[in-house]
């Protein structure tokens, strides 16, 4: 029986996707629930799995990099076929001896270990370069292939340049050849569907909205004291670290209640107000910056928010963010401080009307009651659409966040 493998519906308004990579080849016998391919849409990556056991045949024109329509048939699965004789190694097969250069007592890794569970980034390089993962020695955990392993295994990969001879080299020693010039050494890599969509959205925000950024700074001292005092008990009770983002999400929700225009956006000639609070948290992934949302953040406790942030970060790291995670946001937060940024002007996550930028916490001398004190300070930046939000509202909104974070007891009691 031939079973069609079709491009699944992966989100509202998405009509096409790009085949990022195939994890199996035509003629491979696959097991039920094994991942067959990775689809890239303009919002997220989606894994397509086999619904039954069978032999895979990829349709012509559906190779990695092809753009396909939702619902299109990209391959077939012959569920009556059996695995080729000898395809699977006998269970009692004697393991191969470790190579001579292996440390004494080190067991040789089976070839399959290096190719099992390839990450999306490794998969993409393997498919693009036509490499055989079973022929590459993996240096990752349990013998898995890393990105560096497959890059070094590419045909024509250049060995590391020889080091210059030390100053104390004996007289008359042959001179080492000069390093070859790399002028003109470049390559063109097609933008992924997600990267193209990120570029389009950022440019749309700049071309459409009247962007303006206002700044303030917040003393993080009380939040840091509270976190230091209760972080161990918090982790023990809820199974998640007590971070700083949770306090800012709580503060943002309270501020949005006082300034509803910041939680709205322009829809044609109307202003669309939202009576719910879906807070986007910018997450850096291998495929670029994504902004999945904490839905109904106003209904969550501080622990619930921290758990949601942890789960979204894990999904971003593992390439599991879905279109549903990305849709429906009403306001966004981006934290450049985790990368060391001291100050920046974030760009709107269009069509939203505002985004809050958090930055590095840095000790600075501050005037407190006529005396100079060293305080842990953070710059805040609010970029907003001036077409819908007036300067007074934007400044007052940011001041409200500052006041709440500097008085965390009031924030948690919601008074």
Catalytic residue numbers, as ranges: 386, 390
40 vs 11, 176, 194, 308, CA distance in Å? 12, 47, 7, 24
Residue 299 per-residue DSSP state: G
- Helix (H) or strand (E) run with residue 69 in it: strand 67-69
- Cα 364 from chain centre: 32
Helix (H, G, I), strand (E, B) or coil at 261: helix
- Helix (H) or strand (E) run with residue 255 in it: helix 245-258
DSSP one-letter string for 378-405 = EEEEEEEETTTS-HHHHHHHHHHHHHHH
CA dist 56 and 35 (Å) reads 12
CA dist 403 and 408 (Å) reads 9
Residue labelled with tokens 């699944």 = 8
**Please, are residues 343 and 379 in contact by the beta-carbon 8 Å criterion?**
yes
CA dist 331 and 265 (Å) reads 10
**Please, are residues 211 and 385 in contact by the beta-carbon 8 Å criterion?**
yes
Helix (H, G, I), strand (E, B) or coil at 409: helix
Q: Check residue 246 and give left, alpha or beta (phi > 0: left; psi -120 to 50: alpha).
A: alpha
In this structure, the strands spanning 279-281 and 270-272 are unpaired
Torsion on CA atoms 58, 61, 63, 66, rounded to nearest 10: -140
158 vs 151, 152, 154, 161, 162, CA distance in Å? 10, 8, 9, 8, 11
Beta bridge partners of 344: none
Instruction: Tell which residue, 278, 325, 324, has the closest CA to residue 297.
Output: 278
User: Which tokens hold the place of 225?
Assistant: 């004291």
């Amino acid at each position: 029986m031939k079973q069609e493998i079709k491009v699944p519906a992966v989100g509202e308004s998405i009509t096409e996707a790009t085949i990022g990579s195939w994890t199996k080849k035509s003629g491979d016998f696959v097991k039920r629930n094994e991942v067959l391919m990775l689809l890239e849409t303009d919002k997220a990556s989606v894994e397509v799995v086999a619904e039954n056991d069978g032999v895979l045949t990829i349709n012509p024109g559906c190779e990695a990099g092809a753009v396909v329509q939702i619902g299109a048939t990209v391959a077939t699965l012959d569920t009556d076929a059996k695995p080729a004789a000898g395809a699977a190694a006998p269970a009692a097969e004697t393991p191969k001896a470790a190579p001579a250069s292996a440390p004494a007592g080190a067991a040789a890794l089976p070839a399959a270990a290096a190719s099992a569970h390839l990450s999306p980034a490794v998969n993409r390089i393997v498919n693009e370069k036509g490499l055989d993962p079973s022929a590459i020695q993996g240096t990752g955990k349990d013998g898995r292939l890393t990105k560096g392993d497959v890059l070094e295994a590419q045909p024509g990969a250049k060995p590391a340049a020889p080091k210059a001879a030390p100053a104390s080299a004996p007289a008359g020693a042959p001179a080492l050849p000069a390093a070859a010039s790399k002028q003109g050494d470049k390559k063109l890599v097609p933008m992924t569907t997600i990267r193209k969509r990120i570029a389009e959205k950022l440019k749309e925000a700049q071309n459409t909205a009247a962007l303006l950024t206002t700044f303030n700074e917040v003393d993080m001292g009380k939040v840091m004291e509270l976190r230091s005092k209760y972080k161990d008990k918090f982790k023990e009770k809820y199974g998640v670290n007590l971070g700083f983002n949770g306090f800012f999400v709580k503060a943002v929700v309270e501020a949005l209640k006082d300034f509803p225009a910041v939680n709205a956006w322009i829809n044609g000639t109307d202003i669309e107000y939202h009576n719910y609070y879906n807070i986007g948290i910018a997450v850096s992934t291998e495929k670029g910056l994504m902004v999945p949302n904490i839905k109904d953040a106003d209904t969550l406790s501080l622990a619930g928010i921290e758990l949601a942030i942890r789960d979204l970060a894990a999904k971003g790291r593992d390439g599991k963010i879905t279109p549903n995670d990305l849709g429906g946001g009403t306001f966004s937060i981006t934290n450049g401080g985790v990368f060391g940024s001291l100050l920046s002007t974030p760009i709107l996550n269009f069509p939203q009307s505002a985004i809050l930028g958090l930055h590095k916490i840095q000790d600075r001398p501050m005037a407190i009651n006529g005396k100079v004190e060293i305080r842990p300070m953070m710059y805040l930046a609010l970029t907003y659409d001036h077409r819908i939000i007036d300067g007074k509202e934007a400044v007052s909104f940011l001041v409200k966040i500052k006041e709440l974070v500097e008085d965390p007891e009031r924030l948690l009691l919601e008074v």
